[in-house]
Structure formats: structure tokens, C-alpha cells
Amino acid sequence: MAGGSGAEIDHIFKLLLIGDSGVGKSSLLLRFTADTFDDLSPTIGVDFKLKLLTMSGKRLKLTIWDTAGQERFRTLTSSYYRSAQGVILVYDVTRRDTFTDLSDVWLKEVELYSTNPDCIKMLVGNKVDRDAERVVSKQEGIAFARQYGCLFLECSAKTRANVQLCFEELVQKILDTPSLIADTKAFKKNLLRPDEPYTPQSAPGAGNCTC
């Protein structure tokens, strides 16, 4: 990224994809950013993608961190929760353990490491194209989402069903949450960097703002 991103960006959001290994986080992201589908090898550490989006008249820059689901990387990914406005929890509708792990493992990680108390969580059941093998029903997903206060969608990175929508809903919700966009706005004025951390001591931000 060569700094000069041309058009004015209204908000910069940091999103995070988490969930067990093999649920399709990277595929989901690849579908969203490049609209392709590929047989991907497991993510090593973290991956990063950028996506520009215009929603309700706002120009948005999404910085999306795609974390490795494998347990061996768990320690390492903990610091990526920092200052994320949105977290996408992905499970595989054909593997129940990936669903139960969300509450057993991943939600706890979010609680533990997220620095944005209002951070939006989105529950995503992937691989709905393999309906025959489905073991987690949509109702269960809805119940889960209600219980933990998440948004919910089922999608398929393979058939591209709902993929776009899933990111858009999340972003819309972030846009609707004043406490989340307050920060990103401040950064927009002061910093070009997308993933500036939310630092409590610099919270007012307006102090630097000469507008």
C-alpha cells in the first residue's frame, strides 16, 4: 500500500476471522475479496486482505485479518483481536465440533483479547452447499447467535451464497454503532494507517483534529 489511496476514505475497519481449522475462513475471505474459490492449504499464522467497499454513501476500507485455526497458532493470534471492530466466527455446518468450539474456545478468546467492548460478533455457518452432510441446523445457529448476541448467517464460499451479505451486514452493524465508528473517524483524520490501535489515552482524538 503506497499511502496515497486516492479517494478519501470515510472509515477504516479492522475485521477478524476466527474459528476451527478447516471451516473455510480463508475461502470465505478469498470469495469476498477476489470472488474466487480455490482449494487452500491451512493458513499459517495470519493472513491479511484488504477490501474497499461503499456502503450507505460511506467509503470504507476493510482490513481483514484471517487467522489460522490450528491450535498450534492459538497463542500467536491472540494479539490480533486488539482494536477489531468486527469478529466473524466461522463454523462448518457439517462438523459439529467446529460449532461447539465456538462457545467453548473462540468466544472466550474474544472476551479475553478484544479491546473494543462493543465489537460486533458475527456467527457464520459455512459450507451450506454440502446440505446432505449437514449436522448443525440453522435453528441451532440462530439460538447460538441469540444467546451470545451475535449476528448470524449461513453461507457457502464455494457457491458464493450469502458471502457478500455476511460482510455487508457486519459492516452495516458497525456503521450503526456510534462507539465503534467514533474511533475510526478520528483515525481517518489523523492517520493513514488502517489498523491503528485503539489506544485509550488517545481516545479523545479530537485534540489533534484540526478540522
Residues contributing to the site for another protein (CB under 8 A): 1, 3, 21-22, 41-48, 65-66, 69-73, 75-80, 82-83, 190-193, 195-197
Q: How far is the CB of 192 from another protein (least distance, A)?
A: 6
Instruction: Quickly count: other Cβ atoms within 10 Å of residue 129's Cβ.
Output: 17
Identify which of residues 108 and 146 has a Cβ nearer to another protein in the complex. Answer: 108
Q: How far is the CB of 1 from another protein (least distance, A)?
A: 8
Identify which of residues 130 and 146 has a Cβ nearer to another protein in the complex. Answer: 130
Q: How far is the CB of 78 from another protein (least distance, A)?
A: 5
Q: How far is the CB of 29 from another protein (least distance, A)?
A: 12
Of 149, 139, 130, 144, nearest in space to 99 by CA: 144
- The amino acid sitting at 2 is A
Cα–Cα distance for residue pair 127/134, rounded to 1 Å: 9
Identify which of residues 2 and 211 has a Cβ nearer to another protein in the complex. Answer: 2
Identify which of residues 1 and 143 has a Cβ nearer to another protein in the complex. Answer: 1
Identify which of residues 55 and 105 has a Cβ nearer to another protein in the complex. Answer: 105
Q: How far is the CB of 94 from another protein (least distance, A)?
A: 14
